[in-house]
């Protein structure tokens, strides 16, 4: 496959070609499109023979097991981890819930759980409910006016009562990137575990969980050019051992009697039931697709496009940016003056521009920065300058409607 300098990403994505080639798809933070390579791998698996994994001895089962475990290894290497430290889930949401249930024994009455003000609801509500069940206290790292978290506040107020810190690596609503290595250091100083929601980071950054220093790192396949229904929970060996299983059944069992049961070894102890085999294979194929391109070049292309979009939107007299974080990846939140975000998004669609509007499943942050919500523009590997220009042209046409 040729270098990105000499080809267009979009040609590898059938959903953005043919009848859909006029669509400026700028909603990749919600879900990315899927390249042909992944679609072909999924079809090939089913055509060549499907079977359950880790059970039967026939060839279909052996092939399925080998493909599933190879997928685990491929995904682990993508984030600098070992295969045995990768737990497959249905997505980031299930991974957070698995942790909130499995780490509940670490949180006693009066203990603290720290979150940031910019968390997605999926990394907020499970911890909120754990705090209520265990009579613990939910603490919040506030957001500064520009959208960055107040790291100084966190340093000043965290104490040894803190047992868990759960933060996003990249905000899904404004694209703000958090200093995870520093947050990990602060959490570990007081003996707390740190959980990082990497759903919006994994497709846009060079992720190495060892450099990040976190105990757990979570992400979803459908935001990484893979299928829906598959996700990853990474944990250090010590951190994974502290998770008590909360879902029981096949695969996670070692021995069973009517009197008691014993659990399997990791990672299978936390993967009850038949896993999403094709989801894991599809996600590994998406990782392989990305690995065909030089990482620095891929990130450079996205950075150039993000800077272009930011410059154009900042200069537009009818655009109000929501949040101006110091470090961000390919997400921009904004509003059009005197136009409700929902109305704007509906009109964008009329001009073949796909954007997201609303609170972006992050209502606390939205209430702080833009109570009526916002419009979110988010980039993918297939995004091009023409998509940004199409969105800017749509803004001009929308504002003409409201000026009349």
Catalytic sites, residue numbers: 361
Q: Residue 327 and residue 147: Cα distance in Å, rounded?
A: 10
- Alpha-carbon separation of residue 143 from 56, 157, 340, 372, 391 (angstroms): 52, 15, 24, 18, 29
Dihedral sign computed on CA atoms, order 258, 262, 266, 269: positive
Q: Residue 201 and residue 219: Cα distance in Å, rounded?
A: 8
Q: Which two tokens stand for residue 263?
A: 């659990």
Q: Which two tokens stand for residue 322?
A: 């929501």
Q: Residue 57 and residue 82: Cα distance in Å, rounded?
A: 26
The secondary structure of 268-287, three-state, reads: HHHCCCCCCHHHHHHHHHHH
Residues contacting 230, CB < 8 A, separation 6+: 88, 89, 90, 91, 220, 221, 222, 276, 279, 280, 282, 283
Q: Residue 50 and residue 203: Cα distance in Å, rounded?
A: 29
Residue identified by tokens 């026939």 is 58
Q: Which two tokens stand for residue 327?
A: 């470090």
Q: Residue 276 and residue 228: Cα distance in Å, rounded?
A: 10
Cα angle, residue 302 at apex, residues 297 and 307 outer, rounded to 5°: 125
Strand order in the sheet with 374-378: 319-321, 331-336, 374-378, 356-358
Residue 79 dihedral angles phi and psi, to the nearest 5°: -115, 15
Residue 316 dihedral angles phi and psi, to the nearest 5°: -80, 125
What one-character DSSP code corresponds to residue 229? S
Q: Residue 210 and residue 199: Cα distance in Å, rounded?
A: 17
Q: Judging by DSSP bridges, how do beta strands 356-358 and 261-263 pair with one another?
A: unpaired
Cα Rg of the chain, angstroms? 22
């Amino acid at each position: 496959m040729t270098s990105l300098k000499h080809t267009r990403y979009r040609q590898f994505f059938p959903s953005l070609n043919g009848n859909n080639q006029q669509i400026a798809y700028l909603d990749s933070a919600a879900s990315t499109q899927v390249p042909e390579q992944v679609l072909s791998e999924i079809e090939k698996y089913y055509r060549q023979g499907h079977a359950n994994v880790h059970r039967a001895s026939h060839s279909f089962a052996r092939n399925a097991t080998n493909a599933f475990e190879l997928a685990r290894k491929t995904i682990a290497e993508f984030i600098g981890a070992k295969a045995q430290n990768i737990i497959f889930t249905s997505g980031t949401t299930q991974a957070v819930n698995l942790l909130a249930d499995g780490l509940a024994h670490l949180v006693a009455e009066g203990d603290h759980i720290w979150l940031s003000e910019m968390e997605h609801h999926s990394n907020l509500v499970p911890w909120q409910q754990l705090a209520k069940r265990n009579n613990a206290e939910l603490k919040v790292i506030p957001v500064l006016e520009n959208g960055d978290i107040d790291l100084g506040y966190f340093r000043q107020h965290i104490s040894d009562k803190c047992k868990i810190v759960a933060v996003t690596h990249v905000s899904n609503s404004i694209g703000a990137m958090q200093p995870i290595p520093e947050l990990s250091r602060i959490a570990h100083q007081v003996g707390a575990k740190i959980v990082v929601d990497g759903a919006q980071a994994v497709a846009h950054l060079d992720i190495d969980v060892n450099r990040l220093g976190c105990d757990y790192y979570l992400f979803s396949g459908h935001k990484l050019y893979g299928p829906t229904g598959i996700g990853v929970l990474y944990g250090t060996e010590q951190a994974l051992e502290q998770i008590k299983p909360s879902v029981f059944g096949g695969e996670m069992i070692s021995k069973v009697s009517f009197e008691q049961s014993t659990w399997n070894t990791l990672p299978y102890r936390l993967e009850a039931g038949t896993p999403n085999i094709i989801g894991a294979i599809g996600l590994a194929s998406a990782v392989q697709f990305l690995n065909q391109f030089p990482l620095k070049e891929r990130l450079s292309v996205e950075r150039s496009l993000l800077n272009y979009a930011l410059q154009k939107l900042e200069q537009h007299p009818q655009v109000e940016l929501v949040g101006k974080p110091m470090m961000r990846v390919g997400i921009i939140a904004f509003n059009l003056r005197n136009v409700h975000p929902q109305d704007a998004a509906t009109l964008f669609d009329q001009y073949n521009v796909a954007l997201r509007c609303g609170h972006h499943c992050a209502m606390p942050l939205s209430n702080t920065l833009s109570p009526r919500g916002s419009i979110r523009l988010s980039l993918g590997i297939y995004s091009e300058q023409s998509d940004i220009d199409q969105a800017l042209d749509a803004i001009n046409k929308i504002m003409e409607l409201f000026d009349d």
